[in-house]
Structure 1
């Protein structure tokens, strides 16, 4: 039985402004997609590990990283989303929040039983 491990979740897919696909050269069809890995215990997320950001062409379904872009406009949009829009979801800290609430409950319980 596996009680801990890692998993990933999709974060904030958004359309990239301008640019063209490095593979099929179609304009205005690029989307940015973020993935955040997290550590879990019994499938309850405890803390985030790292993020990976890709760009996906909705026309040819190609998946690209920032280093594969030749288009400066697309690189600028990608960096903007990477720095400003791809944030850590609050639910990746659910396990830590539950542990802190349990500690608080255990520490308050003796005062409530008096």
Structure 2
């Protein structure tokens, strides 16, 4: 059983505009899903680590993750726009807030 680790949660599914599939060439068939990565301790999110994404063609089901966007410039540009639109959920700081609160309470009681 892992006490800590890295997880991802979906932030949204978007239709990429003016992007052609690099496999079948179909236009406006790419859906992109944006995920927020976060570090967790005992399954409680502590702090965000950024955003990742996946692009999938609805016609041929060709999928590319964000590491593969380097080779597909139109995917990379579309993902950068979508990443800027989405925000990291506030709860991804929950573990940090809890730890900070406990630390403050411990310091106050020690005085």
In the alignment, the residues of structure 1 paired with residue 45 and residue 36 of structure 2 have an alpha-carbon distance, to the nearest angstrom, of 11
Equivalent residue, structure 1, for 2:72: 69
Q: TM-score, normalised by structure 2?
A: 0.73
Q: In structure 2, list runs of 5 or more residues that go unmatched.
A: none
CA distance change for structure 1 residues 92 and 16 in 2, over 3 Å: closer, same or farther? Answer: same
Q: In structure 1, list runs of 5 or more residues that go unmatched.
A: none
How far is the alpha carbon of 1:105 from its aligned partner?
Answer: 4.8
RMSD of the alignment, in Å? 2.6
Structure whose CA Rg is larger: 1
Aligned 1:1-114 pairs, distance under 5 A: 1-64=1-64, 65-69=68-72, 76-82=77-83, 84-105=84-105
In the alignment, the residues of structure 2 paired with residue 8 and residue 86 of structure 1 have an alpha-carbon distance, to the nearest angstrom, of 14
Aligned to 1:27, the other structure's residue is in SS state coil
State whether residues 16 and 32 of structure 1, in contact with CA within 8 Å, keep that contact through their aligned partners in structure 2. Answer: yes
In the alignment, the residues of structure 1 paired with residue 71 and residue 55 of structure 2 have an alpha-carbon distance, to the nearest angstrom, of 10
Aligned to 2:92, the other structure's residue is in SS state helix
State whether residues 53 and 79 of structure 2, in contact with CA within 8 Å, keep that contact through their aligned partners in structure 1. Answer: no
How far is the alpha carbon of 1:62 from its aligned partner?
Answer: 1.4
